């Protein structure tokens, strides 16, 4: 019986020694940079390690994680470190390796983004977040941005929704101090350095400043992605959420207006754009957009005033000139059709003269607008339109001038 116990003990000691020996040898391969050899040895010794205690198993999985980190098999490294933690490896041992893994993933993701492999970069940055969701939320934010750059909107939406769910704001404290010698204010990268410089006579006027919350931007991006995916109802709901936290964001108002326009809810579009104008009364694009929709709604006078205001604020906006002319000439075809269908009676002749004058007045109203546009950059469409107007009005010198100018452009 004693012999059996002794033999069993010797077998256990020998078995345990073999496990530690293989683990040491695998570590030697890893230390010397022979990662494939270290991996092969661990794989070939799997049955030996499977019968070991949790302490040995945790060390084996730790080594797997280190090897996969070095070989940039990041997902396998994360799994190995998770198993090592679950088997009881101490945080004191595991934390430095996780930090190395995070650095390796971030470096690789930066490389992906530099080569415009944004999709891979996004997934890697998400891995960094997954390693430590409490401390690495900013990398989820960067992952979402990379996903947008890759035009993988579904992936970007997944990340942005997660950011919204965890209420990520990304507020940072920036540190600034003024150099006495130069009088220039500089930004300090760390609070520790900032506190040291505050004690120096070479620096003055230290100040701290918090960045704005990124949450409104995140919800805005969620809305834009929903819009891109054709899910307008969800986009509008997201915008309302964003506007609740940032009611003065004109970009959000305009985004909402554009979605209303796509939904053919032009009245809602007008209300949103009017609200945007209240926020930015000197934005010519807002007036131009209101001109377009007002014209489509048949509100001609309002549309004319919006286009005129857009031109006043931005005299180089060619589309405002052209749309204004098109709006003024709207209905011309009906006038011409009625003129052509009139007979030769006295009343018909009177009606013809009335319509002719209306048509000529429309043309005369367009002449200065077109001349202003042509003066900007010889817009070909404006030149051709003005040439035809001069021809109809019987202004031969004006017609010849425009025809020659058109020949020069073409």
Q: Which pLDDT value is given to residue 27?
A: 87
Fold observed for domain 269-409? 1.25.40
Helix (H) / strand (E) containing 204: strand 203-210
**C-beta neighbour count of 238 within 10 angstroms:** 27
For the domain covering 2-150, report its CATH number. Answer: 1.25.40
Residue 228 tokens read as 């891109």
Structural domain boundaries in the chain: 2-150, 173-210, 269-409
Pick from 127, 131, 128, 138: nearest CA to 166: 138
Instruction: Tell me if 2-150 shares its fold with 269-409.
Output: yes
CB 35 within 8 A of CB 29: yes
pLDDT per residue, tens digit, the chain (410 aa), is 444 444 444 333 444 545 678 788 888 989 999 999 989 988 888 877 777 788 888 898 999 999 999 999 999 999 999 999 999 999 999 999 999 999 999 999 999 999 999 999 999 999 999 999 999 999 999 999 999 999 999 999 999 999 999 989 888 899 999 998 888 899 988 888 988 988 888 889 999 988 888 887 888 889 889 988 989 889 888 888 877 777 888 878 887 887 788 777 888 888 888 888 898 999 998 899 888 888 888 889 989 999 999 999 999 989 999 999 999 988 888 988 888 998 889 998 899 989 889 999 999 999 999 999 999 888 899 999 999 999 989 999 999 999 999 888 86
């Amino acid at each position: 019986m004693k012999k059996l116990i002794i033999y069993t003990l010797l077998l256990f000691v020998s078995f345990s020694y073999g496990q530690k020996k293989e683990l040491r040898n695998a570590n030697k391969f890893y230390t010397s940079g022979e990662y494939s050899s270290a991996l092969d040895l661990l794989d070939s010794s799997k049955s030996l390690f499977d019968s070991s205690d949790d302490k040995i198993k945790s060390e084996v999985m730790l080594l797997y994680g280190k090897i996969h980190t070095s070989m940039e098999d990041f997902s396998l490294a994360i799994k190995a470190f998770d198993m090592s933690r679950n088997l009881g490896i101490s945080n004191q041992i595991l934390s430095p390796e996780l930090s190395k893994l995070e650095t390796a993933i971030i470096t690789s993701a930066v490389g992906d983004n530099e080569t415009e492999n944004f999709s891979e970069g996004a997934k890697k940055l998400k891995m960094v977040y997954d390693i430590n969701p409490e401390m690495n939320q900013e990398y989820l934010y960067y992952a979402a941005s990379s996903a947008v750059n890759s035009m993988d909107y579904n992936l970007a939406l997944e990340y942005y929704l997660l950011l919204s769910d965890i209420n990520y704001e990304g507020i940072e404290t920036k540190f600034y101090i003024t150099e006495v010698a130069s009088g220039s204010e500089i930004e300090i990268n760390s609070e520790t350095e900032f506190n040291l410089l505050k004690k120096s006579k070479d620096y003055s006027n230290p100040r701290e400043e918090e960045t704005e919350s990124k949450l409104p931007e995140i919800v805005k991006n969620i809305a834009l992605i929903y819009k891109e995916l054709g899910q307008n109802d969800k986009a509008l709901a997201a915008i309302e959420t964003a506007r609740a936290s940032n009611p003065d964001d004109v970009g959000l108002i305009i985004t909402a207006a554009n979605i209303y326009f796509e939904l053919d809810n032009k009245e809602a579009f007008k209300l949103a754009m009017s609200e945007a104008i209240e926020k930015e009364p000197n934005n010519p694009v807002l007036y131009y957009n209101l001109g377009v929709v007002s014209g489509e709604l048949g509100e001609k006078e309002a549309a004319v005033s919006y286009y005129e205001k857009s031109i006043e604020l931005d005299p180089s906006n060619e589309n405002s000139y052209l749309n204004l002319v098109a709006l003024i000439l709207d209905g011309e075809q009906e006038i011409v059709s009625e003129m052509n269908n009139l007979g030769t009676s006295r009343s018909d002749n009177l009606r013809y003269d009335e319509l002719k004058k209306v048509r000529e007045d429309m043309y005369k109203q367009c002449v200065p607008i077109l001349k202003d546009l042509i003066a900007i950059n010889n817009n070909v469409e404006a030149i051709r339109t003005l040439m035809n107007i001069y021809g109809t009005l019987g202004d031969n010198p004006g017609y010849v001038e425009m025809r020659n100018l058109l020949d020069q452009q073409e």
